[in-house]
Structure 1
Amino acid sequence: MASLTNPTTFSTLTHHHHHPSSISTFTLFNAPKHPSFTPLITHSTNPTVFRRTPTTTSATTNPSPSTSTASFHGTCYVVRDNIDTDQIIPAEYLTLVPSKPDEYKKLGSYALIGLPSSYEQRFVEPGENHSKYSIIIAGDNFGCGSSREHAPVALGAAGVAAVVAESYARIFFRNSVATGEVYPLESEVRVCDECRTGDVVTIELEGSLLVNHTTGKQYRLKPIGDAGPVIEAGGIFAYARKTGMIPG
């Protein structure tokens, strides 16, 4: 794998996504919120979310694992096509600084608050910081719009472990990997047409599989590839420190 300290590396991870752009200095030069992958799960109040610890050796002996054994189980929230970053986190909340714990929590409380009124079920209930939905299932071009890193950060702060979409805006995919907040997974079919908000689902990263326990259906996902270990480590800088690319 090319050095992940160079943000242009992510062009090789996201060539099939939309809207090429670079990772901004906010992501790269502010300390990641999560120094390891564990907080991605433990900051959720949803007790049905879990992570199976990867059975790998130390970073020194195995610096670039190609797969992840993480699994997620919980209820899903379904959205449609072209969910943009202003719907994920409106511009008025971009003054919140994710590196400040209190403001990070506030970001979670505003996740997906910009969705239109046709979404009758709120993603985060008023007065709450976390959502009861730990997995988002979306249609085409999820995360389009501006390059704000706050979009995946807000979802992670709300307790989201993964998004499963038909496709992504490239900048959202890149920011998700760089921050280590959520897994941006792609489905091989249009899953958002067959799942409903509140369905209980499981994602197995190792098998690239989504199981909907409510309907009994299973769906193949596209492998997350080299981006997986970066997200699992907690983001680009955490991964670089873990693998010895930069000093710890």
Structure 2
Amino acid sequence: MKVSGKVFKYGDNIDTDVIIPARYLTSADPVHLKEHCMEDIDVTFRERVRPGDIMVAGKNFGCGSSREHAPVAIKASGVSLIIAADFARIFYRNAINVGLPILECPEAAEKISEGDEIEADFDTGVITDKTTGESFSAKAFPEFIKNIMASGGLVGYTEAGLKD
């Protein structure tokens, strides 16, 4: 599976309170959450993001509170992938659980710029910056994570397994 889109670039230590501010946690509804995604760090994100766009960030993306609302808000915004130098462990797991693809690749996180058009192949882990022509190698998703993503997250994956 491949995704491609325009890059939204963020720095290190983007915490869950910036991804979805606590004042908006009055609902777990993805439609509500996407309306406020990233607004404390990027007030134009909501108007500029398009389905398929990709976030690229530095180290420790998703640190802070362990709320699942953060990856839900990003996914509901239409983001098809987050690439970061590394992720806070609980965010990493929450992203998989909700079916939001993530790739760790420090070199890509450093070299890809805001607004670049990139493509990522989940089967090979190859990330291509179509703007600059550079390619980067991330670790490809294991088969079980690809199956979770294809099912829309852990709940869908579990439900499908119970039907078999």
Question: Please, what TM-score do these two structures have when normalized by structure 2?
Answer: 0.91
Structure 2 runs not aligned, ≥5 long: none
What is aligned with 1:82?
13
Q: In structure 1, what is the Cα distance between the partners aligned to 2:69 and 2:96?
A: 13
Whose Rg is larger?
1
Check if 1:111 corresponds to 2:111: no
Structure 1 runs not aligned, ≥5 long: 1-69, 99-103
1:165 positional shift: 0.8
Aligned 8 A contact 2:96 2:154 in 1:
yes
**Helix, strand or coil: the match of 2:45?**
coil
**Helix, strand or coil: the match of 2:54?**
strand
Select 1:209's aligned residue among 121, 126, 134.
126
1:95 positional shift: 0.8
Select 1:234's aligned residue among 148, 152, 158.
152
Q: Which amino acid aligns with 2:150?
A: E
**Helix, strand or coil: the match of 2:137?**
strand
Please identify runs of 4+ aligned residues in structure 1 that moved more than 4 A.
Answer: none
Q: In structure 1, what is the Cα distance between the partners aligned to 2:139 and 2:10?
A: 19
Aligned residues: 162
Aligned 8 A contact 2:108 2:127 in 1:
no
Q: Which amino acid aligns with 2:64?
A: G
Question: Please, what TM-score do these two structures have when normalized by structure 1?
Answer: 0.61
Aligned 8 A contact 1:79 1:192 in 2:
no
Q: In structure 2, what is the Cα distance between the partners aligned to 1:72 and 1:247?
A: 29
What is aligned with 1:71?
2
Q: Which has a greater percent of helix?
A: 2
1:247 positional shift: 4.2
Aligned 8 A contact 1:209 1:220 in 2:
yes
What percentage of aligned pairs have identical amino acids?
Answer: 35
Q: Which amino acid aligns with 2:128?
A: V
Q: Which amino acid aligns with 2:103?
A: L
Q: Deviations over 1:118-140 (max 9, x none)?
A: x6x73222xxxx71371001111
Select 1:148's aligned residue among 67, 79, 91.
67
Q: Deviations over 1:160-193 (max 9, x none)?
A: 111011111111111111111x101111x33232
Q: RCO higher in 1 or 2 (8 Å CA, sep ≥ 6)?
A: 1
1:76 positional shift: 0.9
